[in-house]
Structure formats: C-alpha cells, structure tokens
Structure 1
Amino acid sequence: MTGASFSLVMPFMALYVEELGAPKGQIEFLAGLAVAISALASALVSPLWGKLADRYGRKPMMVRASFAMTFTMGGLAFIPNVYWLLFLRLMNGLFAGYVPNATALIASQAPKDKSGYALGTLATGLTAGNLIGPLLGGSLAEWLGMRNVFLFVGFLLLICNIMTVFMVKEDFEPVERKDVMPTREVFARVKDRQILLGLFVTSMIIYISAQSVSPILALYIRHLGETENLMFISGLIVSSMGFSSMLSSSRLGKIGDRIGNHRLLLLALFYSFSMYFLCGLAQTPLQLGVLRFLYGFGTGALMPSVNSLLTKISPKEGLSRIFSYNQMFSYLGQVVGPFVGSAVATGLGYRWVFFVTSAIVFSNFVWSFLNFRRFIKVRDIV
C-alpha cells in the first residue's frame, strides 16, 4: 500500500504542476524537482530515524511515517500553487521511512536462515504496489480528477497506519537513551565494513540503473518505431519489469537462503548487466519489452540479497541504523539515476543510456566479486 501510494501520483505529476500555474518553460523542471526533493530529503534524515528506531523500535517509526504521510500526501489535494507542492513533497521526504523500518523489523524478527525468503516476500509486496500504482493512478486521475487522487492516497496511508497499529507485532524492548549503542560503535561491530560499503554502493547502483532509463524510455520506444500507441506500450514495458520481479522475489530469496545470498547477488548483478546491454541492442519495442521482463528477474534477486547480507553482518542493536544508511544510498540512487540517463541521452543518444548503465552495473559486479572472493571463507558472514 505504501509502494502504491508513492507511485500512484507519478503519471500525472507534470500535469498537476501545470494545473497549479507553473510557467510553461519550467513545468518539466519543477515536476522533476517535486520528485527528487522528496528522495533527497529522505536520504538526509534516514540515519536520524534509524537511530530512533534502534531506541524505540521499528513499529513506532512505521506508525509515525504512515501517519505523517497521510497528511503530506493527502494535503496535496488542497494546495493553491506549485510552491506548496514542493513544500509538502519536502515534508513527505523528511517524515518518510516506512519501508526501511519494515525491512529492519522483518530482518530482526525472522530466523537468519529464512531472512532471504522473508525479505523477498516483503519486496514482492513493495514491487506489487509500485507496479499497480502507475496503472491505477492514471485511470483514477481521469475518472476522479487529480486532486481527488491525492485524497485517495491519503486514505490509503491512513488505512496503512491503522493496520500497522493493530496488526503488526514486534518483539522489542525500548532502550534508555544512555544505553543506545553509538552509531560509531554500530559500524565498528559490523563483521566486515568493506562488504558493508560494497552493499551500500550496490543498493545505490540498483536504483541508478533502474532510474537512469526512466526519462528516455518512452522516447526510446518511439525511436524503435512505435508511434500509434506510445503511452500504452510504454506503460506496458515499464510494468513488465515489475511484474517479473514481483513473481520472482520470494522464490529467489529462498534460493539465496539455500545457495548463499552472496552467490545470488553476484549472479543477479551479472545477469542485470547482460540484460541492460541487450536492451541497448533491441531493434523493436517487442524485443525491448521481452528483455525488460527478463531483467525483472534480476531485480527480484538483488534487494532481498542485499538486505539479507546486511542482516547477517550487522549487530542486532544497530540494525535499523544500518538499514537507514542503506536506504540513504538507495535514495541517492533515485536522485542521481535520472540525471545520468538524461545527460547520456543528450550527449550520446538513447541506446548509450543502456550501454553506460550496463557498464556501471558491471563495475559493481567486479567490485562485489573481489569483496566476496576475499571474505568467502568467513562462514559467519555468508
């Protein structure tokens, strides 16, 4: 529900900026800023919420986030101009944090030998929401109007808040402030900080690679010859990746528990590099759609593997802070990715966005391989 609430409004954000009276020459910039400012704000405050979660528990932070976002997202229905849009999007980012705390809660409660499956199931729910959101958001905007969609999103988040209060259970004893482990000690007690840094960077690159093609995907599809049903075909190709990821996350999480999450992560990185490279060679929209669908199996393995490995190398007392820093890197990837795609497309052309992205993923694969090869004998890490 939180994944859907975020993605519901994406299809018509630029149109809403236009409706609010933004100057014509600045509509695209302000729409992009409205999306990026929320992710950037979340990146800056994630460590703070993570520290509070380690003191008071993950469930209270989930309740806080869903309650605050009920108003920051629902309030967008009543704003008079684009400056209020930017302000509420900023506030939404500052008070966000439902997903990383849900991840930390499941990671702390699930048995370690089942963490890949548990986190994969969570990823399935998030992916399903991100998949359904854009398809549902455009339809609701035409049926109800854009402002009423924001009210609907606020209502969704309120339901999420109530469900979290009454249905989510956590085995956690609040810690006195003086007894909270300092952040420096949390990182000092990580079993291997080189692997930790590699996982943080991997999370960032996962989102850079996912977001780099977003600004140019519809234009690339048109470049491949699709003109009559461009918006429908674009939506279908975008959704195909989420659909395959949703189908595979929990199953691949189980495989990671069996063969080792480090091995699954390396396989998924190399597989993702291959799929991105092949997307740059696509000659028709059908080929691109099939390759994007196949690429989704790679993303279905990546985040559960990263989260499971973070769980295994991090001290339980600082787990929320580790996940909050990982989320910070993910948010930075969401900010950097679209700028990378736009710059490469402008300078080199659409196909090179996929080639450059594949090179970024391959460099991450090489770094991860060297990290895990060096520490592969440390059984308690993997």
Structure 2
Amino acid sequence: MEQWKKNLIVLWFGQFLINAGMTMIIPFMSLYLQFDLGLSDKHEIGVWAGIIFAGNFVTSFIFQPIWGKYADKYGRKVMLLRSGFGMAIVMTLMGFATTPWHLLLLRLLNGTISGFNPGAVSLMSATTPKSKVGFAMGTLQSGGIAGTILGPLIGGLLADSIGYRPIFYLTGALMFAASMLAFFVVKDPFDRSKAASKHTISVREGLKKLIKVPGISSLYTVTFLIQFAMMSPMTLIPLFVQELHGNGPNLAFWAGLVSSVTGLSNMIASPLLGKISDKIGSVKVLSVSLIGAALCFIPQALSHHVWSLLASRFALGIFLGGLNPSVNSLIRKYTPDGMESRSYGFNSSMLALGNMAGPIVGGALSGSIGIQGLFVLSSVLLFANMFWVWQKLIRNVPVQQKNV
C-alpha cells in the first residue's frame, strides 16, 4: 500500500477518536457535575456546563496558529503526536476531577495543546498526490465530522452502561492508542534542515502575509460561517425532537438518532464528493454543497414529524460532506509553500470560533425566534456564504485559477 494511503487510514481513525472524545461529554456533562462533582442548583449546573464546554474552544482558538507556526518549523508529525499524547493524558485526568474548577482548567488545557486535526490535514495535504487531494481531504474530514456528531450518541450510551468517570479513562486510552499508531505508521517527508534555514516570522506577521493571498481570507470566512450555521441550532435539536415526538417511549433514542444521522450521511458522502472535486474542481463542489445545505435547513424548520426532520437531517449530511474538505483542499492550493501548517492552524481557529459562537448565539436567539427560526437563520447564512464564495473565489479569481 502506498504510504499516503497508510497515513490516511491511520489519521482517519485518529480524527474520529479525537473529535468524538471532545463531544462525547455533551449528553452527561450536567449529570457529571450533579452526581460526581457535587452541584445541586440547576441554574449553577447549567452555567458551569456551558462554560466548561466552551472553554476548550476558547484556548483552541488562541493557540492553533501558534502550533501551526511550530509545525512549519519542526515538522507536522511532531506537532500531531504532541497533541495526540497530550490530549490523551488530559482526557484521562478529567475522570479524576473533584470540582467544576478542575474540569474547567483541564478543558482549557485541552484546547491549549490541541492541534491533532489541523496537523492531520496539513500532513495529508503534503503527502498526497495532487490528483488525489480532494479524495484524501474528503475522507479525512469525514472521520472528524463523524466523530463530532456521533460523539454525543456514543457518550450517552456509555454513560448508561459504565458510568461517567470511566468514559474519560476509556477515551484517553483510545486517544493514546491512536497516537501510538500514528507514531509507528504515519510518515512525514519533512525536511527540518530546510525549514530551519528559512526566516521565521511571528504569528501576527504570518497572518498578515496569508490574508494578503487572494482567496485565503475568503476561505477563513467561509469556514467560520459554515461552522456557525451548523452549530447554532445543534444544542436545541433534542428539545425540538421532544416537541415533535412528545414524552413518549424512546425519546432519548430519537433525539440521539436525529443528532447523529447527519454524521452517518456525511461519512458516506465526503469521500465521494472529494473524488468529484478532483475531477471538476473544489470551488464547484463547495458552491453546490453550500446551496444544497442551505436548502436542507428549510424543511427542518417546517417539520411536523420526527421522520421528516430525520430525512432532512440525513440530506443535510450529504451536502456537508462537500464543505470543509473543499475548503481544506482550496487552502492547500492557495497557501504559499512552507506555510501550510500555519494556514491550517488559522483555519482551525476559525472553526473553533464557529463552534464557540454558534451555540451561544443560537441559545440567545432561541427565546425570540425558536429553533425553527434558527434553522431559517442557518439557511440564510449558508446562502450568504454562497454569495461570498461567488464574489471572492469565482468572480474575482483569475481565469487560470478557476479550475482549483
């Protein structure tokens, strides 16, 4: 088997485990705070749960560009392993937390040392043949997105069967195993002596240089808007399922299935859309996927039955499979040589910002416009995103670059 394919298989599992581990705590965070960490007031539990969940994304947003700088200097695999082993240790320690402050500090530390995802994307973009970049990005991202969406379902099932604290130990062990596999199997043809001979610039100077490149700043905006639109209604979907299904039997099952079905269709569609982007260009796949995803939010807002919501969420996942992989493929093509990891680091910061801002804004607006209004808002944002792509990446891109 070619080395890039070995890299892809190992890093797919790594992406899945890392992202699932980050989101697995969503279903039982409030219960963990109540039964294991001693909180009793419901309002206090809700505040702590929100702060603890967001803490990871706050520090991740700050530190991703810094780790991207060091990856361009010392190697992508080194940074990937630093993140994988570090997060395995921190995740295990979360199971030993005795106060909410312990959990918050560990989540902040986890976001600080994170960087497995952008490291994996950067490494794959550098080691994959150009004719296969779209397929590799689609396959790799399917692992990450599937882990993000399936994580809450897995966490809920495990919480019922083995309890809360053992989940942290199990997740830490799986992260450690994925990192060990990457250590032995993944190869990175990084020339450290060549990188060391280059002039090192600061994170701020790197950002200034990158945003001057036509297309890069536009792609960062696209990443933020995609993630914001996806995450703003996410935390309210279980309540919407309850509204449609009632408090009848299997409510938790249906809520988990509706939340997770998008990840299942995404896993199927991402590699296929990646192959198509290798043939017709990433911009075209990105454009069609944005329009399709925007349209899929409309029937969700009009749903009166769980089945119709489930079907529209499944369709949404298909189009999601063409969004982030296309963005990552385009970032690689626009980024100057030697700045790939740094460029993906900034893009990961925008991803974290969308993950953080989406649920906060969605929760704030839900009281006035409801979850149906949030679905419509997500649709409008994705249509606006398509207009942005057309303005910045299609209309104003030189003719010779329009095949990217």
SS, match of residue 396 in structure 2: helix
2:228 to 191, 208, 211: 208
Within-5 A mapping of 1:2-17: 2-17=18-33
Quickly say closer, same or farther: Cα 1:112–1:380, change in 2 above 3 A.
farther
Partner of 2:9: none
1:199 to 219, 223, 235: 219
- Distance across 1 between alignment mates of 2:28 and 2:258: 18
Partner of 1:314: 335
- Distance across 2 between alignment mates of 1:184 and 1:334: 23
Determine whether 1:342 maps to 2:370.
no
- Distance across 1 between alignment mates of 2:180 and 2:105: 26
- Distance across 1 between alignment mates of 2:146 and 2:369: 34
Letter in 1 for 2:29: M
Letter in 1 for 2:355: Q
SS, match of residue 301 in structure 1: coil
Q: CA deviation at 1:84?
A: 0.2
SS, match of residue 349 in structure 1: helix
2:164 to 135, 146, 153: 146
1:278 to 299, 302, 326: 299
Letter in 1 for 2:390: F
On the 8 A contact 1:211/1:338 being kept in 2, the answer is: yes
- Distance across 2 between alignment mates of 1:375 and 1:179: 29
Letter in 2 for 1:104: S
2:38 to 21, 24, 35: 21
Partner of 2:3: none
Letter in 1 for 2:39: A
Matched residues, percent identical? 33
1:260-281 superposed Cα distances (whole Å, 9 cap, x missing partner): 1001111111111111122111
Mean Cα displacement is larger for which, 300-309 or 176-185? 176-185
Quickly say closer, same or farther: Cα 1:208–1:131, change in 2 above 3 A.
closer
On the 8 A contact 2:244/2:305 being kept in 1, the answer is: yes
- Distance across 2 between alignment mates of 1:347 and 1:26: 23
2:261 to 228, 240, 252: 240
Work out the number of aligned pairs and report it: 382
Partner of 1:161: 179
Within-5 A mapping of 1:51-90: 51-90=69-108
- Distance across 1 between alignment mates of 2:145 and 2:380: 25
- Distance across 2 between alignment mates of 1:370 and 1:27: 45
List structure 1 runs of 4+ shifted beyond 4 angstroms. Answer: 175-178, 183-192
SS, match of residue 47 in structure 2: helix
- Distance across 2 between alignment mates of 1:113 and 1:190: 24
- Distance across 2 between alignment mates of 1:108 and 1:150: 33
- Distance across 2 between alignment mates of 1:102 and 1:139: 28
Q: CA deviation at 1:132?
A: 4.0
- Distance across 1 between alignment mates of 2:177 and 2:206: 34
Partner of 2:198: 179
Within-5 A mapping of 1:345-360: 345-360=366-381
On the 8 A contact 1:189/1:314 being kept in 2, the answer is: no
Quickly say closer, same or farther: Cα 1:122–1:180, change in 2 above 3 A.
farther
- Distance across 2 between alignment mates of 1:82 and 1:187: 35
**For the aligned residues, what is the CA RMSD?**
1.9
Partner of 1:222: 242
What TM-score do the two structures reach when normalised by structure 1?
A: 0.95
Mean Cα displacement is larger for which, 186-195 or 298-307? 186-195
Letter in 1 for 2:244: L
Partner of 1:120: 138
Quickly say closer, same or farther: Cα 1:108–1:185, change in 2 above 3 A.
farther
SS, match of residue 234 in structure 2: coil
- Which stretches in structure 1 are left out of the alignment for 5+ residues? none
Quickly say closer, same or farther: Cα 1:350–1:204, change in 2 above 3 A.
same
Mean Cα displacement is larger for which, 174-183 or 294-303? 174-183
2:270 to 234, 245, 249: 249
Q: CA deviation at 1:129?
A: 2.8
What TM-score do the two structures reach when normalised by structure 2?
A: 0.90
